A and B are shown apart, each in its own frame.
Chain A
Amino acid sequence: ETGVTQTPRHLVMGMTNKKSLKCEQHLGHNAMYWYKQSAKKPLELMFVYNFKEQTENNSVPSRFSPECPNSSHLFLHLHTLQPEDSALYLCASSLIGAGYGNIQYFGAGTRLSVL
């Protein structure tokens, strides 16, 4: 148990569906992240939130819409996805600030299949 919880663990959706991924951290961290991991590839950073403010969007298509209502919760809203969006989506959190080192802790991921 890393202190970062993701739901659902598995998700199958059609290209016309709308769904949301949820991430919650119980570590008192102030930064949260979404990563995408496609088969046989390293993790790719999608979004960074620092104190609820989005500080990085790594050229992610608009069919992925993040939301961070507070420092403990992060959502990824999905709509009109493509089959190539099928991947493992990982959430992470860390404590950012002088001396903290930005050590990131990861959730177990949501394995998404787009049909």
Chain B
Amino acid sequence: GIQVEQSPPDLILQEGANSTLRCNFSDSVNNLQWFHQNPWGQLINLFYIPSGTKQNGRLSATTVATERYSLLYISSSQTTDSGVYFCAVASGSRLTFGEGTQLTVNP
């Protein structure tokens, strides 16, 4: 099956800092999603981005499908950005999740 690696595993920021999270995957995909899991367990869809670049407010994502990686950019981080960020990929209907990046934003 597809392998998904996320880095870094943990990230601590001061409020207002910028960050980049990375997701590497081992095979061609037709679906790549970024999620934010809040401290209560809810998974929030951030981006559906099998290729290209998208922006939503302070967040943006880029997937380079030919090189099998995706990046999630968080600018001007806020304490509410804390939580775990997951990348998930699929070549069919089965989504495979990475192990996540635990982000802590301190005031």
Contact = CB atoms under 8 A, between A and B. Distances in A.
Interface residues of A, number: 25
Contacts of B33: 103-104
Contacts of A102: 30-31, 90, 93, 95
A108 B50 contact: no
Q: Is the interface of A mostly helix, strand, loop or mixed?
A: strand
Nearest to B90: A102
Interface stretch (B14-22, B35-43, B58-66, B71-79): B35-43
A53 interface: no
B26 interface: no
Interface stretch (A17-25, A43-51, A69-77, A78-86): A43-51
Interface string B1-45: 000000000000000000000000000001101010000111111
Given A2-B45, A42-B86, A103-B31, A56 B94 contact: yes
Interface in A16-73: 31, 33, 37, 41-43, 45, 48, 50, 55-56
A96 interface: yes
A48 B31 contact: no
Contacts of B42: 2, 106, 108-109
A55 B93 contact: yes
B94 A45 contact: yes
A37 B37 CA distance: 12
Contacts of B90: 102
B86 A103 contact: no
A48 B45 contact: no
A68 to B, nearest CB: 15
Contacts of B94: 45, 48, 56
Given A43-B88, A56-B93, A102-B95, 4 more contacts: A2-B44, A37-B41, A88-B41, A103-B33
- Chain A to chain B: the 7 pairs with minimum beta-carbon distance, closest first: A106-B43, A42-B97, A109-B41, A43-B97, A108-B42, A103-B48, A42-B99
Interface of B: 30-31, 33, 35, 40-45, 48, 50, 86, 88, 90, 93-100
